[in-house]
Each structure stands twice: as C-alpha cells, then as structure tokens.
Amino acid sequence: MQKSNQKVVFYFTLLMLGLVGSIKDLYAQKKYPQFGIDPLNEVIAAMTIEEKALMVTGAKRREVYPIALPGKKQKNIVAVGGYTYPFLHLGIPPIYLSDGPAGVRIAPKRMGEKQTYYATAFPVATLVASGWDTSLSKEIGEAMGHEAREYGVDILLAPAMNIHRDPLGGRSFEYYSEDPLLTGKMASAFVQGIQSQGVGASIKHFAANNQETSRRYINTILSERALREIYLEGYRIAVQEAKPWTVMSSYNKINGVYTPQSKELLVDILRKEWGFDGFVLTDWYGGDDPVEQMKAHNDLLMPGLQVWTDTIAHALRYGDLSMDVVDQNIANILNVALKTGTWKNYHYTDKPDFEKSKEIARRVARESMVLLKNEHNVLPLNKGSKSIALFGNYSYKNLPGGTGSGAVNYAHAVSVAEGLNHAGFKIDPTLAEKYMTYLEKGKLIVEKADSLITAMPQRDSILGELQFSNLDIETSAKESDVAFISIMRIFGEGGDRKIDHFNLTNEEYTLIDRVSNAYHAEHKKVVVLLNVGGVVETASWKDKVDGILLTWQSGQEGGHAVADLVSGRFTPAGKLPTTFPVRYTDVPSAKNFPGTPARNPTEVVYEEDIYVGYRYYETFDVKTSFPFGFGLSYTAFDYTDFKVKKASEGRAHIEITVKNVGQFAGKEIIQVYAKAPIGKLDHPEKELKAFGKTRLLQPGESQTLRFEITPRMLSSFDTDASAWVAEKGSYDLMVGTSAASVVENGKFRLKKRIVTEKVSKSLAPQVEIKALQPAKRKR
C-alpha cells in the first residue's frame, strides 16, 4: 500500500471509530495514557463509552484491520477468525484470532499477491487422542503455534474439548474423547505446546456443547453431577494445568441459561474455583443479550455486530450496565493483549517451517492410528506382498479432516495410493485408472475457503462408490496379493449425522462382500481402512475381512502414515479414545439425541447422566464392537510385578512392568481404572484415573510404569454437599489394556470419607431428571 493511501485509510479509520476530532491531538502522546507504559486502569479510564463498547464487541469494519500502531509491523492476514479493535491514540493494538483445531485457518490467496499461504493439515483431535501420549499432543501444539506465529496470528481458537456423547455428533472429529480425563490431559498438553510459541490458545466450546443440531439455542438439561464429572472436568484440567490465554463460551444453554450469559459458569466456576485469569470470548454470534454477557464477564463478543456495540454503550450511558463491569472485561482482554506477538511487534515471516510440520503430522498419525483387527497377522504385509488392489474412492484421495472452522487450507494431502507407491508397493493399475477417472468428476463446490464456515466438501464425497462387475473383482483377486478397501465418512460443523451415516451404505456393504469373497476364494486377505471423522458401525461386517486399520482423519500426511504401518517399518500403538457400539440403539444417549421436539429440538435431557461411553457399557453390561481403550499391536506384551502401595494422605502408588514378548519393536499403553466402594453415591463399574505409554520397547525389553492415585482422583461429585468427595471404603484399582480387558488389579482402602474440594452451588437444573440407575452391585 502506498503512503498516500495509508494516510487515507488511517484518517478514515479514526473518523469511523469516533476516537477524536483532531489529528494533531492524537500525536500529542502526553494527552493520552499509553497501553503497556502507563497503568492499565488509566488507559481504560481514558476510553470513551463508545470506545469501551467497541473494545468488547470485536472489529466490524474491515478498514481497521491493516492499521498498525506507530513503529509496529503492519499485518495483512486474510480470513483469520476475527480481530479486536485497535485504538492508536492509546497504543492498543488489534488481537488477531484464527481457527485452528487441526491447523491454522487462513485464506491461501491475498489480493495483489502471487504467494499462496497454505497451512499444515494436522491429524484431527480424535486421532491425536488415540495416541494416548501427551508428548505427541504437545508437539502438534508446538507446530501449530509456530505456524500461527509465523503468519502473524496471536490466538488460535483451539483446542475443542467437548465430549463424544453420541456417535452422531457432527463435530466429533474436533473433540478428543468420550472420557474427560483423556480429553483434559491431551488438551492441556496441546495448549502448552501452542503457548510455548508465544501464541495464545482458546479452549472451546465451554461447555456441554455436544451436538450441532439446534446448537445456537438448544437447552442442555443435565444434573450437576454429570456436568461436573463429565462435561466440565476436562476443562478444569486444561485450565489449571496449562493456563490458556482464553476460553470460548459455547452456543447452547445449560439448564436454561446461555453459557455466555451464565455468571455461575464463567465467574463462579471458571474464575473463582479454577483460577482462570485470561479472557472469555463468545462463539461467533453466541448468546442473545449483550448486556447480560457483559455482566457474566463474557469479555469479548465475536465477531462483533454494531447492534451489540450500540446496546452496550446505551446500557453504560443510562446506568443499566455498570462501568466497573465493562472496565474489568476490558482489563481481561488487554492483559492478554500484552502477551501477543502483535503487541511485542514480532516480525513474522509468512514462511513457516512446513517440512518440520509435515514430519510431526506424519509421525503423530502413524503413532496414533488404531489396529482394530489383524486376523492371521495379515499386517504388516510380508516382503512378498508387493501388489495391492486398492478399492474405495478414498484410497486415491485423502480426506485429512472435517469441514467448517476445523478445516485447513493445505497444499496437498497424501493419499493411501500415493503413500504405498512411495513405499515401494505396486498398486493395481487397472483399478487405479478407473478410480482416478471417476474422481476427476468431482469439483470443488467452493474454490476458496476464506471465511469462517465455507470450507465445503467436494462433489466426489457424495458420489456413490464406483461399481465393478464380479469379473473385475475376480480378475483383481487373481492378479493382486492383497486388497485394501477404504471407507470414508466426512464430518463437519453445523450439522449432526443421521443414522444412515453411522451405518455403511448398501454399496459399501456390497463392495466388502464381493471383494472378500473373491480374495478369500484365492486364499488372499482383505484389509479395511477407516478414513472417518467419528464412530461408524463395524459389528455387521468386521468378521468378513481380515484386518481393520482405523486411520480416522489423519491429516495431510495420512497416506505416508498408513504406508509406514502396513509395511512394518513401524508398529501400531494407538488405542480407541471412544467406544464403537454394536448398533446405534445400544448408545446410552440414543433415546434422547438430539432432543425434543423431534423436528427442531429446543432442549435435550442427558438422561444417561454420568453413564457416558464406557462408563455405561461396562456398568450395564452392554456388549460393544470395540471397547474404549482397545487397540492391537504387531507385537505382544506381558504385565508383571504389579504393586499397589499405600502412601500418606490417602494416596496410592501403582507400579507395573511391561515386557515386549513379541517379534516387533513396539509401544504399549497402560490404563488405570478405579471402582469406588458402595456408598451414598452410585458409581460406574470403572472409571479411568490415569494412563501411560511405554517408550519403544525392543523384543525382550521391559519398562516399569508408575502412577500416583490421589483422593481427588478418586472423588465423585456429591450434589447435596456441593463438594468432591472420596468415599470411605475399599477401591478396586485395575490396570487394563482397554476398558473391557483388565490384566492386573489390587485393593486400596480409604479409612474415612474425604471432602477433597468444596465448590459453589452452580447451574442446577430446574426440572427433575430421571437418570439411568445401575443395578445394585455386589462386592
């Protein structure tokens, strides 16, 4: 931009913002206290009512975006999630926000520039959680934080932390798990990784936002106990362990109150109980009353509407909103602004280290994919299996992630075919030609994804599976050594799935049948690759194939990661962070998801209460297709020297030695579950309390894993007492390789009931909830 044009935009911006009438006065710095130099309360006091209303409602006018403070680098970032207003006379910079659950989300093209600005598409959160390795999550965060920093982004709107309550949840790919501990630990590591790069994280969507249907107004009705134990606990862990700069409130109501308008949620719980000291921003256009949002200390309303600004200014002017409340909200925002790269004038390069990001994306994907079935050791492919027949559209096209604000504008995604070719395998050329010709019919619906929710699927994602004659398949079975079938499911923001999307299509069932019959007739094997954003039905067809590798949505390096595993260069080590039910009707939320009335639900009652995921299946003895925590390896492990040692203050220490007794180097994941004694409260049959992963163990090598169990970890939420309580009595402490497979167990006794934390009475439901009740257990 030429200097003359810069001046025009600059002066125009000042007039539009109504900052002052005299340009001369703006440059008389002594007239105005300066942000970062003078006391913050003086800077805030110098703001007019209109400026304060602008500060808390997000930048609305595009002409303010490129304006830089004197001496600061001017930014030209396109299609970030949003901005806050700058106030040049006070030295207040804008804060640049970008979506980012699976990669930095910016537009690839900028007006008047030839450079293309891509970002790395990393594995989705569900896949990262399948690694059960916080160090991997932290590495992903570091890489994404690096890319954000080098693109001039101040805050990544990530990670997303809602619970996998129901398999039909459309946004599940952005979320980690059905379990709050696993969710909290993975998110905490991710936040630490992002913020180690000088970029802020924004944990979202706070809270109980577990569906997309009617998401802007659905009233989530649930017990205080379920809210605390299942839907808030992961957030608590992330807030207290990682100290994120920001929290994003959700769209929904909790027990009748919109979350951005709930002082009980945002002040009593988030700030007072958990010690959060950053700022809270809304999800885009969240809530319905900007004044109530201010009073609840939802500090920033995004993306900013003029009516919100006017409403807040009017309320301040006529005493309907306390100036002290808004001043505190502004202070919360500006205290974070002092940490940003924009304020520190970081000279970003627009050239992130993509090679390093690609390596991390590939490594995390291969360490987290889950081997669900491996009959007769079909995988890894032996040295003689060089010819592979690839069936399924998405064998030739990688779907790296979901759609919506979790999508990424990446340069290239490596398909399974590309990855296997690169690894030296021969791909059936006849099949490849037919599929590639078919896929060329698919064109982008939207060529440029440069706003919040415009990343659209491609048309080939809704085309039916390419049909083959029996002769084609039989010929392929004679000429190829093994068949791979890729099954794809795209997930996205803004809508939940239908039951037909959970089940396979008739074409997919038919393809599995025909390929399996033909290859088995030739005494050859069939492997299914699940390139899916969430749980799908597997029970009806898993016995027809020899192997199943769950790749989830594995990011842009997914094809290389698949090749790394099927070639045997690396051993699968992932385990499920969520349960695969036999059928959808087995799911505990199936009877009430997504709420009532059926066509346009306005409320959803969490009748399953605390019995979410494996807590339900284990307690109510419901068979699953694949249980929580399940995953196979190419090698085998023994578990010995299990010990439970009582320590001081009601603590226990657990030890177990894991030995690789197989033929491949590999890693093992250990899960520690607890079963509480019978007492005042009902309890699930088992609950995850800790987990750990060994280093890479060579055949014959051992490692001892150690865990500490505290009374707080054993506590449940007693609604009557508004307290976390560890019941008196004997606890079963179990070490498992999944929720359904316990390899060692021991006893630990608490001599007395321990109140581990007393909290506020908050967000109580106004109606009675008829929650699930387990049968009385026998000890």
The CATH code of the domain that includes 520 is 3.40.50.1700
Is residue 330 one of the residues assigned to a domain? Answer: yes
Q: Are residues 66 and 213 in the same domain?
A: yes
Residue where a domain terminates, one of 577, 593, 618: 577
The neighbour count for residue 706, using CB atoms within 10 Å, is 12
Q: 3-state SS of 230-252? A: HHHHHHHHHHHHHCCCEEEECCC
Q: What is the mean pLDDT of residues 471-484?
A: 94
What is the total count of domains within the chain?
A: 3
Q: Are residues 274 and 199 in the same domain?
A: yes
Whether 450 has a pLDDT exceeding 50, the answer reads no
The CATH code of the domain that includes 84 is 3.20.20.300
- Which pLDDT score, from 0 to 100, does residue 108 have? 87
Helices (H), 448-491: 470-479
Tokens of 328: 């505190």
Whether 778 has a pLDDT exceeding 60, the answer reads no
Q: Are residues 400 and 457 in the same domain?
A: yes
Q: Are residues 377 and 521 in the same domain?
A: yes
| Rounded Cα–Cα distance for residues 62 and 3 (Å) | 19
Residues with catalytic annotation?
Answer: 283
Is residue 620 one of the residues assigned to a domain? Answer: no
The domain in which residue 494 lies consists of 362-577
Contacting residues for 6 by C-beta, under 8 A, at least 6 apart: none
**CA-to-CA dists, residue 588 to 494, 498, 609, angstroms:** 23, 16, 9
Task: Give residue 657's pLDDT band: very low, low, confident or very high (50, 70, 90).
Answer: very high
pTM: 0.93
In the chain, what percentage of residues exceed pLDDT 70?
Answer: 90
Is residue 2 one of the residues assigned to a domain? Answer: no
In the chain, what percentage of residues exceed pLDDT 90?
Answer: 82
| Rounded Cα–Cα distance for residues 169 and 40 (Å) | 43
| Rounded Cα–Cα distance for residues 134 and 159 (Å) | 14
Q: Are strands 370-374 and 387-391 parallel, antiparallel or unpaired?
A: unpaired
For the ranges 409-413, 745-749, 773-777, the lowest mean pLDDT is seen at 773-777
In contact, 250 and 203? CB cutoff 8 Å: no
pLDDT in tens, 374-389: 999 999 998 776 799 9
Is residue 583 one of the residues assigned to a domain? Answer: no
| Rounded Cα–Cα distance for residues 160 and 740 (Å) | 27
For the ranges 59-68, 219-228, 430-439, 705-714, the lowest mean pLDDT is seen at 59-68
Q: Are residues 340 and 366 in the same domain?
A: no
Is residue 1 one of the residues assigned to a domain? Answer: no
pLDDT in tens, 334-369: 999 999 999 999 999 999 999 999 999 999 999 999
Q: What is the mean pLDDT of residues 587-591?
A: 97
The CATH code of the domain that includes 665 is 2.60.40.10
Helices and strands per DSSP (H, E), number in the chain: 23, 28
Q: Are residues 325 and 436 in the same domain?
A: no
Task: Give residue 452's pLDDT band: very low, low, confident or very high (50, 70, 90).
Answer: very low
Residue where a domain terminates, one of 513, 545, 577: 577
Q: Are residues 64 and 97 in the same domain?
A: yes
**Burial bucket for residue 346 (CB in 10 Å: 0-12, 13-18, 19+):** middle
- Which pLDDT score, from 0 to 100, does residue 78 have? 65
Q: Are residues 710 and 678 in the same domain?
A: yes
Q: Are residues 571 and 663 in the same domain?
A: no
**CA-to-CA dists, residue 318 to 294, 315, 323, 636, angstroms:** 15, 5, 11, 72
Task: Give residue 9's pLDDT band: very low, low, confident or very high (50, 70, 90).
Answer: very low
